[in-house]
Amino acid sequence: GQQLNQSPQSMFIQEGEDVSMNCTSSSIFNTWLWYKQDPGEGPVLLIALYKAGELTSNGRLTAQFGITRKDSFLNISASIPSDVGIYFCAGRTGTASKLTFGTGTRLQVTL
Amino acid sequence: NAGVMQNPRHLVRRRGQEARLRCSPMKGHSHVYWYRQLPEEGLKFMVYLQKENIIDESGMPKERFSAEFPKEGPSILRIQQVVRGDSAAYFCASSPPSYGTGELFFGEGSRLTVL
C-alpha cells in the first residue's frame, strides 16, 4: 500500500528558530495537505497543495509540492510556543479518494 | 473544530461489549471518512462513505467493524465484541459533495478505551 515517510520524527527547537520538515512517498500524489494536531484534538488543516512545483504560504508557514509529485516539505519561520504539536502530511491520488497520512513530526519549542 | 461533531468524546468498554461512535459532518457535507489513530502513531484510513453508500472500506478490519451513513442522521462506526487492541482514537472527517478542493475537515475524535 501507499506509505508516506516524514522526517524528522521529532524536533526540539528554540523559540524564534525556523523549522523544516518533509514527507516522501513511494507513490505519486496529486494533492498534498499538511495538518497540525494538538494533544487530545483532531487534525487541523494548515496548507493544501494541488500542483507539482506549487509553493504556498499561510502566515509563517510555507509548503511546497515536489516536482516529482512524490514529496512535499513544510517550513515554519520564527517558531513560537504555540507551534508545539504533531505535524502530519497527507496525500491523495484521486479527487474522490481517501487521504493517506504520514507518520508525523513532533515539534517541541523551548523558550 | 471546523464543525464536524463526534460523540462520545470518550468511551470505556469491557472486552466483548459493543462500541458505537457517531459523526455528524459539517453542514452541507455529504462525504464522511473514518480514521483510527493508535497512541504515538499517524492516522490510518478505515472507510469512506457517502449518504447510504460505502465507497471504500479497504481499511476496515474484516470482522467486528462496520460503518453506515444513513439518509437521515449521523454516520455510525460500530465495533462489536471489542478487544484491548481496539483502544484508539477514532476520527471522523467530512468533505463537501462537489469535492472541489479535496480537503478533509476533522472532528475532535472519539477515544475508545477497552478494559
Contact state of B109 with A42 under an 8 Å Cβ cutoff: yes
For A104, the closest of B4, B42, B107 (CB atoms) is: B42
Using the structure block, give the residue that is written with the C-alpha cell 472532528: B107
Strand A105-110 relative to strand A10-14, pairing: parallel
- Residue A42, Ramachandran bin (φ over 0: left; ψ between -120 and 50: alpha; else beta): beta
Q: pLDDT grade, residue A2 (50/70/90)?
A: low
CA nearest to B46 within chain A: A98
pLDDT at residue B1, rounded to an integer: 44
What are the backbone angles phi and psi of residue B85, rounded to the nearest 5°?
-65, -10
Q: What is the pLDDT of residues B21-77, one digit of tens each?
A: 999 999 888 899 999 999 888 899 999 999 899 999 999 999 999 999 999 999 999
Cell numbers describing residue A57: 504560504
